Amino acid sequence: MMLSAQNISVRLGRRDVLKGVDAAIGKGKIVAVIGPNGAGKSTLLRAMAGLLPLQEGRVILDGHDVAMMPSHELGRQIAYLPQDRTVHWPVAVERVVRLGRLPHVPSARDDEAVASALAAMDLGALASRPVTELSGGELARVLQARALAQEAPILIADEPAAGLDMAHVLSLFEHFKRLSEEGRSVLVALHDVALALRFCDKTVLLKDGSVLAAGATKDVVTPEEIGRAFGVEARIATLDHVPIVLAARTLT
Amino acid sequence: MSVLPDVPQKNLVEVLAQRQGLLLGLLSILVAIAFGLSLMLGPEGFGLPGGPGMAQLVLLEIRLPRAILGLLVGGALGLTGAALQGYLRNPLAEPGLLGMAGGASLGAVISIHTGLAALVPLALPLGGLAGAIVATLAVVLLAGQRSSPVTLILAGVALSSVAGALTSLVLNLAPNPFASVEMLYWMMGSLSDRSLEHVWIAAPLIIAGCAILLTTARGLDALTLGEVAAVNLGIELGSMRSRIVLGAALAVGAATAVTGAIGFVGLVVPHLLRPLVAHEPGRLLLPSALGGGVLVLAADVGLRLISPAGDLKLGVVTALIGAPFFLWLVLATRRELQA
């Protein structure tokens, strides 16, 4: 599975949110999209999931233009987790996760996929609770589990770590690692650039709708590039082999 | 399965599925009882008038059309209410929201005003249908091709107010007091004096509309997570919107054309049944259709018991049931917010 955005431009309202962006995810890779607020991270993810009309360029999935693919077929190939965490009715957790099976023809696999997604996101005990009774972080895990239950070769997740406690952030990314070892691909938008350094093979750094840097994460998440993108003086270190990124001060 | 050996969620699915079957069974029994009561109830209480020929005539020509229309119209309103509430993700949506009911009322009132209704027996329901068709086309044109639910609501509300204003104008310019009384009575909604012809006009359209609305169940479930997630789950939003508008137009347009405006059924019924389907919008559809049928039939039986002479109108009774329900809704919401 190979998903690539080729020179895509997206306009939302009167604003050019993406201007000629290239990005790609290969089979079994974890790719991070980072950048300051308003850089176009969410828009890039939605475009790559085939959910936005493009002004220019194409998004290609294994040789096929995603704009031409029927949406149920696309839903089997790409699972997309939006940043928006609204659930409109107080439906039970298990039923929300089961919505991930909608693109598939009903089969015995459905129950297994739902059960393993619930287990992966540590939701077994909450399965029958209405989503309205959950905390923000618990709800985030439910929606992540919905995307996992879709069992698509490609997972695109917009800020999946936001609102999670530190234990669940860690287990989420360890799960992403397992997915990538199974040959699946993960594309995530992140605010915590240290997570990119720790878990992601490649990183795309966006600023003002353009790619500032892209490539192996260690070449992209550097004090120089972070400084250029975010306007901060960054320090990068490792502690017990775990990378740490610190914004020391804002650059003026 | 290996990950979660005792899979609690499997039990939940089973329990919910069982409850769904149970719920549909219970509602079907209630429909049968209400339908039977409606057939057996006449101006002199329960039973059939004497003489075998007479009994058959009364049953087939008077009471059967009334009971069938009650079931169909109630079903159409309950189902459309549930579908619109799910589609717009708003528990206050009701079948009249998209303007079809307003259009049907206007069409019917015009056919009374012009005297057509007095000349041609079925001009009244056909005028209502014509009004509903015009209103639907206008809403679709106004909302535009790639419209969101919000533009659809806005178009519907705008159309409803235009239709309401024009209906008032027609009432205002009524040729004589009798015509204005006839229009007012018609607008209050009623199942009385409807014939099998009314059933033949309305039934195919209502059934087709309901069948179309029932195809949206998966899409309504997916929309629980919002539009973007729904598209990722394989839902074609454009096709879904067309089915919602067409289904609602057929069901509500035909229902309003034959019985006049019957309010609150489409609002109240989905609300009452939602907890019984664990708040899942897709599974709410069929129970709401049955529940709507029960409510309209029961209200019609009730008003005939209260006033056998027929001076109470069905739309007035459903509004009298519905308005306190609204008050209860306000209090329940307030309690929830305070808790």
Query: With respect to CATH, is domain B12-47+61-338 assigned 1.10.150.20?
Result: no
A87 neighbourhood in chain B, CB within 8 Å? 224-225
> What is the rounded average pLDDT for all residues in chain A?
95
- Contact of A159 with chain B, judged by CB distance below 8 Å, is answered with no
| Contact call for residues B101 and B256 (beta carbons, < 8 A) | yes
Q: For residue range A61-80, list pLDDT tens digits in order.
A: 999 999 999 988 999 999 99
Q: For residue range A34-70, list pLDDT tens digits in order.
A: 999 999 999 999 999 999 999 999 999 999 999 999 9
A124 neighbourhood in chain B, CB within 8 Å? 4, 8
For residue A90, give the nearest of B8, B225, B279 by CB distance.
B279
For A25-29, A99-103, B9-13, which range has the lowest pLDDT when averaged over its residues? Answer: B9-13
pLDDT of residue B8: 47
pLDDT at A106 over 70: yes
- Contact of B10 with chain A, judged by CB distance below 8 Å, is answered with yes
Domain boundaries, chain B: 12-47+61-338
Phi-psi region of A10 (alpha: psi -120 to 50; beta: other; left: phi over 0): beta
* A3: closest CA of chain B, how far (Å): 16
Calculated CA dihedral for residues B39, B83, B210, B149, nearest 10 degrees: 140
Which residue in chain B is spatially nearest to A118 when comparing CA positions?
Answer: B4
pLDDT of residue B17: 53
The Cα-based distances of A95 to A114, A126, B253, B261 in angstroms read 9, 11, 34, 37
pLDDT of residue B61: 87
CB contact under 8 A, B233 and A51: no
Q: For residue range A114-171, list pLDDT tens digits in order.
A: 999 999 999 999 998 999 999 999 999 999 999 999 999 999 999 999 999 999 999 9
The Cα-based distances of A23 to A186, B2, B283 in angstroms read 13, 37, 41
For residue B3, give the nearest of A46, A87, A115 by CB distance.
A115
Q: Show the domains of chain A with their CATH numbers.
A: 3-87+151-250 (3.40.50.300)
| Contact call for residues A185 and A133 (beta carbons, < 8 A) | no
- Contact of B4 with chain A, judged by CB distance below 8 Å, is answered with yes
Distance CA B125, CA B166 (A): 18
CB contact under 8 A, B236 and A71: yes
CB contact under 8 A, A143 and B12: no
Query: Considering just the CA atoms, what is the radius of gyration of chain A in Å?
Result: 18
Structure tokens at A116: 């393993």
CB contact under 8 A, B1 and A89: no
A80 neighbourhood in chain B, CB within 8 Å? 228-229, 232
CB contact under 8 A, A103 and B234: yes
* B11: closest CA of chain A, how far (Å): 10
For residue B8, give the nearest of A96, A98, A128 by CB distance.
A128
For residue B233, give the nearest of A86, A90, A102 by CB distance.
A102
Which residue in chain B is spatially nearest to A100 when comparing CA positions?
Answer: B233
Phi-psi region of A106 (alpha: psi -120 to 50; beta: other; left: phi over 0): beta
Which residue in chain B is spatially nearest to A99 when comparing CA positions?
Answer: B222
**Count of CB pairs separated by less than 8 Å, A with B:** 106
Q: How large is the ipTM?
A: 0.92
A127 neighbourhood in chain B, CB within 8 Å? 8-9, 12
* B8: closest CA of chain A, how far (Å): 7
Helix axes B123-143, B237-259, angle to 10 degrees: 150
- Contact of B337 with chain A, judged by CB distance below 8 Å, is answered with no
How would you write the pLDDT of chain B (339 residues) with one tens digit per residue? Answer: 334 444 444 445 455 556 788 889 999 999 999 999 999 988 777 887 777 788 888 888 889 999 999 999 999 999 999 999 999 998 888 898 899 999 999 999 999 999 888 888 788 899 999 999 999 999 989 988 776 788 888 999 999 999 999 999 999 998 888 888 889 888 889 898 889 999 999 999 999 999 999 999 999 999 999 999 999 999 999 899 999 999 999 999 999 999 998 988 999 999 989 888 989 999 999 999 999 999 999 999 999 998 887 778 899 999 888 888 878 878 887 887 776
- Contact of A53 with chain B, judged by CB distance below 8 Å, is answered with no
CB contact under 8 A, B4 and A90: no
pLDDT of residue B5: 42
Q: Which of B159, B169, B142 is nearest to B102 (CA)?
A: B159
B13 neighbourhood in chain A, CB within 8 Å? 94, 98
- Contact of A69 with chain B, judged by CB distance below 8 Å, is answered with no
Grouping H, G, I as helix, E, B as strand and the rest as coil, residue A185 is: strand
Which of B:206-235 have CB within 8 Å of A? 218, 221-226, 228-229, 231-235
- Contact of B309 with chain A, judged by CB distance below 8 Å, is answered with no
Provide the whole-model pTM.
0.90
Which of B:257-276 have CB within 8 Å of A? 274
